[in-house]
Chains A and B, each alone.
Chain A
């Protein structure tokens, strides 16, 4: 098993922490992992992205030019990363704020209304966990038990009371994720 994932969106959407929780979940499952963030001024209000690789074997490059999965949370990231999904790979996106929807017919496209759902749950901060839940539903690369361990590991202890809420968000993401069928013109 080797899964190469890019998570991309705005700074503040929880992109990096989603990647971190996914990486820790992989560690809990005994996988090799790398977590490589974009860093620097671009994080302040601009785009943020992180590459996470989960693998049963030693990982060579943490920097990649093509991905098994792209999790896309804003338009700039759609423009940049839709072309970089490997044929047969997965593109998961939140349509909120997306003006140009994905168009490739050689990849699997799913959408998750995470921003809307987080608003309904009255907890904007669970946004990224709803997205993570959606991803794990489509590609269960890590078992839920290990995701919860990963969540616990990556949150400081003073935030551990938030774990049930995040767990609920992950489950909710799995329930509401939808496959997108492209209608050919």
Chain B
């Protein structure tokens, strides 16, 4: 099945309560598949085509405020429209899942795959000091698996989570194993697990208020401190990555999502030539595997950061190694996907010379 379809299947099966979205290429299959599967008849999950992306994200605000597992999906221009809502949700500490099947920008750009929304996703695309939990799937299987993982992390940390995919992973078909159907949370379970949620006020507690406004600066600084504590905890506990062929490697490629798949093929080409290259694939882009890149990087003659952008993640790779190792960037962009031989050639030219 397609990556986009895997998102839809996994959403129903993990017991999501609602999907609110607005169609845009290359991710329209998410809502199409949900509409086809009609989960409102089976699990009771709501699937709604909103009037805009702005409406979608604010529907998520409402659903999440009630402690429901709610999600949306879109592609780059649509995700830009959601930034205000995402900032508000981070500020109100609301969990939700947003899937971005990235296409080339800026502006309306192209409908072809890209990875140029890295900065927007990991540095906070809206205003204020906040972070999204960002997961980067590199296969259709991970598109399915990360839906549940995204919800779990979002609720554990009361923070919006994002699956940062791209048109390639969204449109391609691969084998995928889906998990069995899980039940949606009952109202009692929500009230018990998420005491912050607005589930109706019992006598036993005070009002729950979901808001991101605090006009007292001192109090707001305290609130921001609390957010920072949460982000430090995420950085401590939730970093996920995968390494391949790094033990004997002289050079390292750092790449996520579809670029990691393409780089793995490039590494096969390079190793046939006798050039020992390993791959570090960040699975969480925030929190970023800084420590592991620093540790592995120290043993390398050079690092190539590969992404379908003009060079965004490369900045975080450079920060990780603190100038101790040469770090170069390679990537085609604007909707062009680099091929394995282009990546292999770039590594030879930029890190080895000649």
Residues of A within 8 A of B (CB): 20, 23, 27, 32-37, 39-41, 59-66
Contact = CB atoms under 8 A, between A and B. Distances in A.
B340 A61 contact: yes
B345 to A, nearest CB: 10
Contacts, number: 64
B168 A62 contact: yes
Interface in B261-305: 261-262, 264-268
B258 to A, nearest CB: 8
Nearest to B265: A61
Name the 7 nearest CB pairs between A and B, nearest first: A61-B265, A60-B264, A65-B339, A35-B173, A60-B265, A36-B172, A61-B262
Given A27-B175, A33-B175, A64-B339, A39 B26 contact: yes
B114 to A, nearest CB: 13
B25 A40 contact: yes
A37 B268 contact: no
Given A33-B174, A62-B174, A66-B341, 5 more contacts: A34-B172, A35-B172, A60-B262, A61-B264, A62-B172
Interface in B333-350: 337, 339-342
Nearest to A39: B171
Contacts of A32: 175
A39 B173 CA distance: 13
A27 B258 CA distance: 21
B112 interface: yes
Among A34, A63, A64, which residue has the most Cβ atoms of chain B within 10 A? A63
Contacts of B167: 39
Contacts of A63: 168, 258, 261-262, 337, 339-340
B92 interface: no
Contacts of A35: 172-174
B304 to A, nearest CB: 16
Interface in B147-192: 167-168, 171-175
